[in-house]
Amino acid sequence: MGGLATKSNVSQSLTVNKTLRRNVPETKLYSNSTLKTMLDKYKMVYVKPNDGTGGHGIMRVEKQGQRYQYQLKTFTQSYTSFDSLVRSMKKSMKRNPYVIQQGIHLLRRNGRLFDLRVMVQKNLKGNWETTGMIGRLGHPRKIVTNLCKGGKPMSIEVLMKPHVINMDSYKKNLETLGYRTARRLNQTFPRIKELGLDIGIDRNLHPWILEANPRPAIYGFKSLKDKNVYRKICRYQKGYGR
């Protein structure tokens, strides 16, 4: 899909835009020295295959004082030096490129991390429209929320209710963010018709665009009570021939 499918391309395209920049976590191609710098700066980062999918191979790396640790799948390992951390991480890393991304402290429900999937599509008039939003509650012991990794689809209302007073306006803001993100990415990637945005919400309720998927799976939206959402997604997909 026209080069969109890497996380570094997406973040590069989005940070050009002054408004969107606030919603994009710092993302850099992997190197040992960049990992060291970003751990000093953020204390927690995600290391991900640049063209990865499905939450595969993703690591959460932390620095606490002079101690380092990383988690892959459900295993956490601790180290007393940066060099031993990296030596161990390298054993789980494949040869393909990785990115390091500023870690977002995602909101939790019953101790489990969750994030949001926002579907944006070209409607029948050819204009971008946010068509669906759903939450994904991660597996209790994992650092990713992907449905194929044991995540559970849940409505945004249920997940955000403890945190948000005006749900309608909060959702409106997310819709606008989705719309803006799609318009911006469409300038860089002219052929895209739909995007599944992974949006993480931090403790200040600030939304962060973790990733943009050009051909997102839509089965999660089937579980929403409002069946019109899934129907509309399919109708628009027919319109542009997916």
Ligand X SMILES: Nc1ncnc2c1ncn2[C@@H]1O[C@H](COP(=O)(O)OP(=O)(O)OP(=O)(O)O)[C@@H](O)[C@H]1O
Residues at the interface with ligand X (CB under 6 A)? 25, 46, 48, 52-56, 58, 101-104, 106, 115, 144-146, 198, 200, 210-211, 213
Among ligand X, Mg ion, none, partner that 220 touches (CB below 5 to 8 angstroms by kind): none
115 binds Mg ion (CB under 5 A): no
Helical ranges in the chain per DSSP H: 7-15, 18-21, 32-42, 82-92, 156-160, 167-188, 227-240
**Residue 212 C-alpha from the chain's centroid:** 7
Which one, 61 or 216, has the nearer CB to Mg ion?
216
Among ligand X, Mg ion, none, partner that 177 touches (CB below 5 to 8 angstroms by kind): none
Among Mg ion, ligand X, none, partner that 58 touches (CB below 5 to 8 angstroms by kind): ligand X
Q: How far is the CB of 106 from ligand X (least distance, A)?
A: 5
198 binds Mg ion (CB under 5 A): yes
Within 10 angstroms of residue 83's Cβ, the number of other Cβ atoms is 12
Residue pair 184/17 in contact (Cβ under 8 Å)? The answer is yes
Among Mg ion, ligand X, none, partner that 178 touches (CB below 5 to 8 angstroms by kind): none
Q: How far is the CB of 168 from ligand X (least distance, A)?
A: 25
Residue pair 137/147 in contact (Cβ under 8 Å)? The answer is no
Q: How far is the CB of 137 from ligand X (least distance, A)?
A: 10
Which of 145, 124, 143 is closest to 220 using CA atoms?
Answer: 145
Which one, 63 or 145, has the nearer CB to Mg ion?
145
Which one, 62 or 198, has the nearer CB to Mg ion?
198
Which one, 36 or 235, has the nearer CB to ligand X?
36
Which one, 46 or 236, has the nearer CB to ligand X?
46
Which one, 125 or 201, has the nearer CB to ligand X?
201
**3-class state of residue 145 by DSSP:** coil
Which one, 3 or 83, has the nearer CB to ligand X?
3
Q: What is the CA radius of gyration of the chain?
A: 18
62 binds Mg ion (CB under 5 A): no
Beta-sheet pairing, 67-72 with 59-64? antiparallel
C-alpha span between 188 and 152 (Å, rounded): 32
How many residues touch Mg ion under the rule CB under 5 A: the total is: 2
**Residue 101 C-alpha from the chain's centroid:** 10
Residue pair 207/125 in contact (Cβ under 8 Å)? The answer is no
Among ligand X, Mg ion, none, partner that 106 touches (CB below 5 to 8 angstroms by kind): ligand X
C-alpha span between 239 and 207 (Å, rounded): 30
Per CB under 5 A, contacts with Mg ion among 210-229 are: 211
| Residues at the site binding Mg ion, with contacts judged by CB under 5 A | 198, 211
